[in-house]
Structure 1
Amino acid sequence: MSPEVFVDVLRDALFLVILLVSAIILPSLFVGLLVAVFQAATSINEQTLSFLPRLIVTLLSLIFGGHWLTQTIMEFTHELFLSIPTVVG
């Protein structure tokens, strides 16, 4: 049981978290940027105009990417459980 094994597991887990979070956040970021440019160009300062499109895009990314997100987490968990004998013994 070496520390390198734990570092590898932690690195893979952090990479997975970054990947899954970016799949949800990046579309919302781009839509927020487009809405901000539109608001700056038209001088409209309505708060709901910036919040509602980002909320809708975030929910749509969860709806359409939910299966992939869940499958990715399940595969990582399965690989983690399969690596238990390597870590322990």
Structure 2
Amino acid sequence: MQVMKTVVTLGSKGQLTVPAAVREALHLERGDRFEISIDEAAGALTLTLIPGIEALRRRISGYAALTEPVTDVDACYHAHRRRGPGGRIDESSLQS
């Protein structure tokens, strides 16, 4: 993991400008939302990106692509009933 540090200045309206290199590295876009955490004792401020619905959709869409839709519920049920511990097929269930 690469650590990137940069210095920014608080503007007259209380805004910070995130440098282009940081925005590009994190794929930030206009309108992205952040949670601000403050550690007063350390004088530290942490920004955490709150993923939008599209980012969440992209993240979970890969999981949905790994499975095929169930078209025959009975066959799916029986196939899963035959599986024993560790996902292996229980040979004794094949005889019934």
Shorter chain as normaliser: what TM range? Answer: under 0.3
Write 1 or 2 for the structure with the bigger share of helix: 1
The structure showing larger relative contact order (alpha-carbon pairs under 8 Å, at least 6 residues apart) is 1
Of structures 1 and 2, the larger Rg is shown by 2
Which structure has greater strand proportion? Answer: 2
**With structure 1 as the length reference, what TM-score do the two structures score?**
0.27
